[in-house]
Amino acid sequence: MKLTVQDLNSHYGPAHILFDVGFEVGEGEVVALLGRNGAGKSTTFRSIVGLVAQRSGRITFEGKDVSAKPTHEIVREGLGYVPEERRIFTDLTVEENLEVGRQPRRPNAPHWTREKLFALFPNLGEMKNRPGGRMSGGEQQMLTIARTLMGNPSLVLLDEPSEGLSPKIVEQMVDAILTMKKEGVSIVVSEQNLHFARLISDRAYIIERGRICFGGTMAELDARPDIRDAHLSL
Amino acid sequence: MAFYVVQFLTGLASAASLFLVASGLSIIFGVTRIVNFAHGAFYMIGAYIAFSLTERLSGAFGFWGGILLAALAVAVIGVIVEMVLLRRIYHAPELFQLLATFGLTLMVEDLVVLIWGPDDLVGRRAPGFRGAIDFFGQNVPTYDLFLIVLGPVVLGILWLLFQRTRWGVLVRAATQDRDMVAALGVNQKWLFTSVFAVGVFLAALGGALQIPRDAVHHAMDLRIIVEVFVVVVIGGLGSIVGAFVAAVLVSELNAFGILIFPKISIILVFLVMAVVLIVRPWGLFGKPEAAARKTPGLTVNPWRPLTSNERLMALAALVVAATLPLFAGNYLLTVGSEIAIFVIFAVSLHFLMSVGGLASFGHAAYFGLGAYGIAFLAKMAGLPMIVCLLLGPLLGCMGAAVFGFFAVQLSGVYFAMLTLAFAQIVWSIAFQWVEVTGGDNGILGLWPSSWAASPSHFYWLALGVAALVTVALRAMVFSPFGYALRATRDSLLRSEAIGIDAKRIQWTAFVIAGTTAGIGGALFAYLKGSVFPDNLGISLSVDALVMVLLGGVETVSGAVIGAIVYKALNIWLVSQTDLSKLVLGGFIVLIVVVFPKGIVGMLEMLAQRRRKASPPGSPLLAKPIESAE
């Protein structure tokens, strides 16, 4: 297994957010983490990369236990993270944003260069020197993904990549994710949008109120409309 | 005309050092969010070490090598400080970091005297820059010309460093979003350490380069730190270009102010800073802060009024305190009165900081205004003590009303700096308007009326007022006004959205705090029998901050304990050792590291933990600071 999450519990102050969350991602797989707003998708991702201080559980990445490591060490193992709020460095240009994400190449992961990323996201190539703050939401979303890919991750946590984007940009996003998959990057993508998830994912988990309540292939999920309707807003 | 040109050049030369130190402070703040009070101390150590090295190493190589070596050595000291001390407190509220670096400053002030002695040291002239050139009959030292060139050169190097290197890109990224930088695989720890090292290097270089111009002495840290804060605030926190422009502006204001407005030369800089802050709160070249960070007051356990048992205990403590005159001598009673007065002062600032979330760096202004109010009323109008005591604090009230109106338009660090500027303006007036205030000589001969003249009577008076003030402010915390004030502290936007006039509430709190401080100052004037500009000086403002933070900023009235402990320790240390600053500074640093929630905050936490001891799983409460992030 590429990534295994077991018994993950997280708190924000006195509030208990995640309850024994567990899931697995295989080598080269695209797995969707589905759930409504506030179900715990972002907290799950933030906990995996160590951005939630109060967490317990076991997170194994490529056979190594990373649950107690600080954020930057987890990321350097090859586990990339694309946050939901995008968090572009608005004062930095596109090229500088990519530079922040740059890490040495990894033997077991595809190697990304600026040129390769500008081919993947042509819009970015046309605005290399534009400050991140003066880009549209869709362009910023592409830049966050490109920035994370500069770290040459073997697995990427993508937090709601389609949120707030126009249908045209969403299409580009689907293409980009499929290209990443083809290159051999494993992906966990959190989504509220089932249609978007269906286009890219091999398997799906559903999270509701901080608990995983379904896990299976997309076909298995389609066979259970009751689960789909109960836990996902359509 | 030539004279003015030369004066202009002198100003430019002074700007070089100021710029080096200010840019260092700005860089450190930008990334680590630490307002490094110890920056002046690093500047001073840089000057001292450079002095020693240039005395020992001979020749031009020895001199310039000594300067560089000194700056490097101090950078190493900075790295040690960062790794040993600051790394432990990055997650603590901003003010704690300020407190810790203030403690360091105190320690350094004693250490340099211990190592280099108390006398001014005059360093070597710079080889190759000993002479002066003639400019239409006026002499311009060639070293000044060297500094004038150096300033822009350093600016250029810094610009290249930040725009053209990976390190610079990472630093700029971290300035905006530290967590995201970590989430891209960058080790923040070393980034912070390297940034701190560069900042400290710049400060020390600024100090080392001063030795051919100025004598090295052990008070140069406080003088520069105030100027540097002004520069950084005018230029905009985090902006290097801003620091350069502001350093030139401030230096020229100093150079010409003394010629054109000799009476108000000291104020001039602070007036400019106040105007800049009011018109463009984020400084000339700064950017408005996106979202305010959560500062004091994110308590895990909500505030509550005292239970009846606790009330009885407080009352018992007061009664015990009131029995002091039965067994203590006059000296102890005077000390007791002073502590009681500082309780009033600390409680007033605590009200503003903890309840209002407004950390004033110039609270001594209102304390001092209260004291001067007494001096004017008693000496000039000849009013009796009881009338003076009732009217004197009104001067503090008026000062707070005027300055507070402008100050509450800002928040966070900018609020702190504007209050500091106002306090400096008041101080300068007291210092320079000799005809009215007596200037440095102060106003002497203020004695209490006979009914309060004996030490025990005065002690009871001070104790009584302190108790009254504390109870009144506490009551206010749990009144509708207190709720509104706490709402503005926790979220300005949300409080306004539910119809609270936030600015007016904050202004009212400011005036209440200022008036209360004025009451303390009024009593202080009678205790000492005199009033001096020091009564509204920076060090007194800092004392008040330390007392509040020591007590615990997240508590309802921790300042009472903070004031008692700090003042008693201070008085005792001064009587016991020549190294009182060293011990006190060490104590402050220790408190910050070991008890980051202050004394009272820690006691509350212990009590809380004991109460919750039965159900395991209280790690939540053990890490409240992290959860506040």
- Compute the mean pLDDT over every residue in chain B, rounded to the nearest whole number: 86
Residue of A nearest to B173 (CA): A89
Give CB contacts under 8 A, 24+ apart, made by B111-118: B111/B582, B112/B44, B112/B45, B112/B48, B112/B218, B113/B218, B114/B579, B114/B582, B115/B48, B116/B48, B116/B51, B116/B52, B116/B216, B116/B218, B118/B218
pLDDT greater than 50 at residue B616: no
Task: Please tell me if residue B185 touches chain A, with a CB cutoff of 8 Å.
Answer: yes
Q: Give the total residue count for chain B.
A: 629
Residues of A in contact with B175 (CB under 8 A): 91
pLDDT greater than 50 at residue A140: yes
Residues of B in contact with A91 (CB under 8 A): 172, 175-176, 287
Mean pLDDT of A129-133: 92
> How many Cβ atoms from other residues are within 10 Å of residue A96's Cβ?
22
CA of A148 to nearest chain B CA: how many angstroms apart? 7
Cβ–Cβ gap B184/A101 under 8 Å: yes
In chain B, positions 113-172, which contact chain A (CB-CB < 8 Å)? 166, 169-170, 172
Residue of A nearest to B188 (CA): A72
Using CB atoms, which residue from A13, A53, A148 is nearest to B184? A148
Mean pLDDT of B519-529: 93
Distance CA B492, CA B501 (A): 10
CA of B162 to nearest chain A CA: how many angstroms apart? 11
Reported pTM? 0.84
CA of A153 to nearest chain B CA: how many angstroms apart? 10
CA of B283 to nearest chain A CA: how many angstroms apart? 17
Cβ–Cβ gap A12/B627 under 8 Å: yes
Cβ–Cβ gap A91/B182 under 8 Å: no
Query: Which residue in the block uniquely carries the two structure tokens 């009182």?
Result: B580
- Percentage of residues in chain B with pLDDT exceeding 70? 94
Q: Specify the pLDDT at position B239.
A: 87
Residues of A in contact with B177 (CB under 8 A): 87, 89
Mean pLDDT of A179-204: 92
Q: Strand A155-159 and strand A186-191: pairing?
A: parallel
The three state secondary structure string of A97-140 is HHHHHCCCCCCCCCCCCHHHHHHHCHHHHCCCCCEHHHCCHHHH
CB pairs under 8 A between A and B: 79
CA of A161 to nearest chain B CA: how many angstroms apart? 17
Residue of A nearest to B628 (CA): A13
The alpha carbon of B184 is separated from its chain's Cα centroid by a whole number of angstroms, namely 35
CA of B92 to nearest chain A CA: how many angstroms apart? 14
Best to test chain B binding among A9, A61, A72, A143 (most B CBs inside 10 Å) = A72
Cβ–Cβ gap B627/A90 under 8 Å: no
Query: Which residue in the block uniquely carries the two structure tokens 């008070």?
Result: B219
Provide the pLDDT confidence category of residue B379 given band limits of 50, 70 and 90: confident
Query: Which range scores top for mean pLDDT: B137-146, B296-305, B552-561?
Result: B137-146
Cβ–Cβ gap A72/B187 under 8 Å: yes
CA of B289 to nearest chain A CA: how many angstroms apart? 13
Q: Strand A155-159 and strand A203-208: pairing?
A: unpaired
Considering only CB atoms, which residues of chain A are within 8 Å of chain B?
Answer: 11-14, 49, 51, 53-54, 70-73, 75-76, 81, 83, 87, 89-92, 96-97, 99-103, 147-148, 151
CA of A103 to nearest chain B CA: how many angstroms apart? 8
Cβ–Cβ gap A14/B177 under 8 Å: no
Residues 6+ apart with CB under 8 A from B173: A89, A92, A96, A97, A100, B180, B181
Cβ–Cβ gap A89/B185 under 8 Å: no
Task: Please tell me if residue B288 touches chain A, with a CB cutoff of 8 Å.
Answer: no
- Percentage of residues in chain B with pLDDT exceeding 90? 43
Residues 6+ apart with CB under 8 A from B279: none
Distance CA B488, CA B508 (A): 12
Min mean pLDDT across B285-294, B399-408, B478-487, B508-517 is at B285-294
Cβ–Cβ gap A76/B184 under 8 Å: no
CA of B495 to nearest chain A CA: how many angstroms apart? 22
Task: Please tell me if residue B291 touches chain A, with a CB cutoff of 8 Å.
Answer: no
Q: Specify the pLDDT at position B301.
A: 58
Distance CA B441, CA B97 (A): 36
Cβ–Cβ gap A92/B170 under 8 Å: no
Mean pLDDT of B328-335: 90
- Compute the mean pLDDT over every residue in chain A, rounded to the nearest whole number: 92
Distance CA B26, CA B35 (A): 9
Q: Specify the pLDDT at position A195.
A: 87
Count CA within 13 A, CB hemisphere, residue B539.
10
Min mean pLDDT across A62-71, A205-214, B325-334, B582-591 is at B582-591
Q: What is the pLDDT of residues B145-201, one digit of tens each?
A: 999 999 999 999 999 999 999 999 999 999 888 889 999 999 988 999 999 999 999
Distance CA A197, CA B10 (A): 68
Beta strands in B336-459 (DSSP E): 443-444
Q: Specify the pLDDT at position B610.
A: 74
Residue of B nearest to A87 (CA): B180
Using CB atoms, which residue from B175, B187, B627 is nearest to A13? B627
Q: Specify the pLDDT at position B414.
A: 78
Min mean pLDDT across A67-71, B194-198, B264-268 is at B264-268
Mean pLDDT of B488-510: 91
Q: Are B202 and B70 in contact (CB under 8 A)?
A: no
Best to test chain B binding among A56, A71, A84 (most B CBs inside 10 Å) = A71
Task: Using alpha carbons, select from B86, B96, B99, B102 the residue that is nearest to residue B188.
Answer: B86
Task: Please tell me if residue B435 touches chain A, with a CB cutoff of 8 Å.
Answer: no
Mean pLDDT of A95-110: 93
Q: What is the pLDDT of residues B27-81, one digit of tens each?
A: 998 888 888 889 999 999 999 999 999 999 888 889 999 999 999 999 999 999 9
Residues of B in contact with A76 (CB under 8 A): 185
